[in-house]
Chain A
């Protein structure tokens, strides 16, 4: 087999674990969109006293890496507390599958982001969230770190694609060390917008190519 996937990933793809829905879920989240060709939905059942994840199921619209990372995430968090689950990183999920090709790392990020959104959803429903804090530049940078450089399989901040981030009066400008006609320019720009658009005090996002 010369496909760019490991054995474990293909096993999860062929026979995903915990696929489906939980009808009376305590929390639920969907991340991604048909525009990106990647969607993951996670359903959680959480023990109210111990905050342990009793059950988790996923649905996926996406490629093999998308299905496999969602599947492996469900294995990783079942039985864990929500705090333990929050600590799981996209790197951990990818490693668990025996690695992912660099261009597919964003799938692992999507699975982990969906998990965190589902947990946030649980915390909101159960009054575990404190007041909303105003967004800082560092928080924006943290979010942008969820966008992958598809060549390197690492995030765009670490790999130097992000030149600067300016945040003033609800308007974010992200400057990228990238040519506008770079093969990944459109994709990276869309992903940045997707990461930032849900932050409550961000009203406008502008991605600029400086090269």
Chain B
């Protein structure tokens, strides 16, 4: 954009024989195009990752094979991948529905922790006696977890709806309150012999795992995949129907895209802000419940508050806020987390994760713009 380029380009010598032009797309690209772009972005990221591995003195091809094996290579590791993916899936669903309405709920982490707390309270208070059968225990815990999460979403929702308080700040702050709150109960009230954890839940308060059925089906031996996966997938399917096929979902999409048009169509925005924040919180809360009853089996801040609520934000975006796509992206993320630990506790795998993310997010540009290559000779 220098003076001479604008005034007398003919005198300027061009070093490159080609020029790139970016033009906004004026029509919708075909359906396969976004998929191809995403795959291309991942491939591109893997090539960069390969260079990184090479620079670090490793063998890229062998490392990649190792990563694939470490996350999908056998039924066992696949199961571990899925266990990692389950909480991410539920928090990403929580974020998708809120983001759909352009409600920036950054509080999925806190709602997740509160969900874990709500479910644990059923066992630890105790609301139900320890010998309650699983078929009563689990549904009650699911409800408690979702309610606690919904409550945590309701507070920033009400603040936003009635006082126009920025939900990004309020929901983010609610995360810290949730962690402190749960720490209080874990450290003081429900502590097991002074440790920073509660006692283990009775077996009938655990979500059923595949290994529970190993006697009938030997293949399931040692597989820790739990009912939370089913909860997540059912939630994703229901959410898809809500967003794309229900009247409420239509209102959510309309408010998200153009609030003034929604108002003009007679839609009550205030009520929807509150409801969507509650639904978002309930989904994250369900994730917390699933994690505490399916994996940890006790309430403890460190493995529960592992940042799933924040990973959910990224996954929701990568899935373009589509709940069904979120299932696939969550599994990919579960694999990345698991395989990363397999190769190196920190460092290169995290870098590759980062590169993949940046490439995927950057590839969005290609969906909105067209690139035209022009030979400089042709211009004049």
Q: Do A and B bind each other?
A: no
B positions within 8 Å CB-CB of A: none
A positions within 8 Å CB-CB of B: none
